[in-house]
């Protein structure tokens, strides 16, 4: 894992010494929006009109943040409108790469071998982390946005007028409830697994892992009375939760020491995750070779040998 400093790549891990052993995630740098008519969105500048073939999505099949965008991309039927490049699961001294491997889709837009070259194609002097997902504008030759929570909302609505599949996963009448759920789940669970896993002091680890399981307990209880997080309607809140749940027993329990309980120990969360996994198009976005290979082989400060465990046996196809 590294970052760019004034356009120059540096192989540098997160600095937890200055934060009391805590992992602190930086905000995404690119915050423009694709909109139906090209008008400015909630942040950034305008000029990014929804058009078939204009945009490109860079993702990792290992990354839960990128996974959100792949799911929304599939649900909205945007495969013919927005093409996709997929990085290799292994992220070492050069960061994300397009080294050939099963599931990797090369960068045919910028011809990058390293993902950081996509960032410097947009800004030769870029300083910051090199992350996925990235929504790229082929017409203007730049990054539109690299914040997953915003990209899924663009994919949800911006392309509806030009042939996207019907479906609104951020309905107006549920937005307040969705936003409140997203806030808690992001802080304590989606990002909470990283705060636990990347902690470098016992205190920082315990500070992260206890609220994480409080949230899982809260969600288990909530789903005892609801099919999905807001009721009978499937929304972006469910997508955002699913991409963490599907990785939890496979990597977060062992690799990130989130081992008080497994998702398999929560009947309602397990039912919820299985149901989403079996929705049309969702299973195809889940790749455990990339998921397990990335975490166990890339994070050498946590797993120096790079050995990928054989288990656990997961039951997403179970009834």
**Do 308 and 290 contact (CB within 8 A), yes or no?**
no
Is 131 assigned a ligand-binding role in the annotation?
A: yes
Q: Are residues 145 and 196 in the same domain?
A: no
| Pairwise CA distance, residues 169 & 207, whole Å | 32
58, β-bridge pairs: 85, 134
The parent domain of residue 83 ranges over 3-162
Looking up residue 46, the CATH number of its domain turns out to be: 3.40.30.10
Residue where one domain finishes, among candidates 105, 140, 162: 162
Name, in order, each residue with C-beta under 8 angstroms of 179's C-beta and a sequence gap of 6 or more.
Answer: none
On whether residue 295 sits in a domain, the answer given is: no
On whether residue 306 sits in a domain, the answer given is: no
Residues in the chain: 319
On whether residue 293 sits in a domain, the answer given is: no
Q: Are residues 149 and 65 in the same domain?
A: yes
Q: Are residues 94 and 230 in the same domain?
A: no
Number of domains in the chain: 2
On whether residue 300 sits in a domain, the answer given is: no
| Pairwise CA distance, residues 26 & 217, whole Å | 28
Q: Are residues 137 and 246 in the same domain?
A: no
On whether residue 83 sits in a domain, the answer given is: yes
What residues are annotated to the active site?
Answer: 63, 194
Phi, psi of 71 (to 5 degrees): -65, -45
Q: Are residues 23 and 135 in the same domain?
A: yes
Is 148 assigned a ligand-binding role in the annotation?
A: yes
On whether residue 317 sits in a domain, the answer given is: no
Residue where one domain finishes, among candidates 121, 140, 162: 162
Looking up residue 260, the CATH number of its domain turns out to be: 1.20.1050.10
Q: Are residues 181 and 113 in the same domain?
A: no
What does the angle CA 131 – CA 143 – CA 235 come to, to the nearest 5 degrees? 70
On whether residue 213 sits in a domain, the answer given is: yes
Q: What is the DSSP string of 270-293?
A: HHHHHHHHTSTTTGGG--HHHHHH
Q: Are residues 156 and 182 in the same domain?
A: no
Q: Are residues 101 and 192 in the same domain?
A: no
Residue where one domain finishes, among candidates 102, 130, 162: 162
Please state, in angstroms and as integers, the Cα–Cα distance from residue 171 to each residue in 22, 69, 167, 178, 193, following that order.
35, 18, 9, 9, 28
On whether residue 294 sits in a domain, the answer given is: no
- Written as tens digits, the pLDDT of the chain (319 aa) is 789 999 999 998 888 889 999 999 999 999 999 999 999 999 999 999 999 999 999 999 999 999 999 999 999 999 999 999 999 999 999 999 999 999 999 999 999 999 999 999 999 999 999 999 999 999 999 999 999 999 999 999 999 999 999 999 999 999 999 999 999 999 999 999 999 999 999 999 999 999 999 999 999 999 999 999 999 999 999 999 999 999 999 999 999 999 999 999 999 999 999 999 999 999 999 999 999 999 999 999 999 999 999 999 998 876 5
Q: Are residues 40 and 140 in the same domain?
A: yes
Q: Are residues 145 and 200 in the same domain?
A: no
Is 220 assigned a ligand-binding role in the annotation?
A: no
Q: Are residues 158 and 181 in the same domain?
A: no
Is 147 assigned a ligand-binding role in the annotation?
A: yes
Q: Are residues 271 and 127 in the same domain?
A: no
């Amino acid at each position: 894992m590294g970052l760019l400093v004034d356009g120059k790549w540096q192989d540098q891990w997160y600095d937890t010494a200055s934060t009391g052993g805590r992992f602190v995630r930086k905000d995404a740098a690119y915050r423009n929006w694709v909109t139906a008519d090209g008008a400015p969105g909630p942040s950034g500048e305008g000029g990014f009109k929804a058009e078939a073939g204009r945009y490109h999505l860079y993702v990792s099949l290992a990354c839960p943040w990128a996974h959100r965008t792949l799911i929304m991309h599939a649900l909205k039927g945007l495969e013919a409108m927005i093409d996709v490049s997929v990085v290799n699961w292994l992220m070492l001294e050069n960061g994300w790469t397009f080294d050939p491997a099963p599931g990797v889709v090369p960068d045919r837009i910028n011809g990058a071998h390293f993902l950081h070259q996509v960032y410097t194609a947009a800004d030769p002097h870029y300083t910051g982390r090199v992350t996925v997902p990235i929504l790229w504008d082929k017409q203007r030759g730049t990054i539109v946005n690299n914040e997953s929570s915003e990209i899924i909302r663009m994919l949800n609505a911006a392309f509806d007028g030009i042939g996207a599949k019907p479906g609104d996963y951020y309905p107006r009448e549920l937005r307040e409830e969705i936003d409140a759920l997203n806030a808690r789940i992001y802080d304590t669970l989606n990002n909470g697994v990283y705060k636990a896993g990347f902690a470098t002091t016992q205190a920082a680890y315990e500070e992260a892992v206890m609220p994480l399981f409080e949230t899982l307990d809260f969600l288990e209880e909530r789903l005892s009375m609801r099919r999905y997080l807001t009721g009978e309607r499937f929304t972006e809140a469910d997508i955002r939760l699913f991409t963490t749940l599907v990785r939890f027993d496979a990597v977060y329990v062992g690799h990130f020491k989130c081992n008080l309980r497994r998702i398999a120990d929560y009947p309602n969360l397990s039912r919820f995750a299985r149901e989403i996994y079996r929705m049309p198009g969702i299973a195809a976005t889940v790749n455990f070779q990339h998921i397990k290979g990335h975490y166990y082989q890339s994070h050498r400060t946590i797993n120096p040998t790079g050995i990928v465990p054989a288990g656990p046996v997961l039951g997403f196809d179970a009834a």
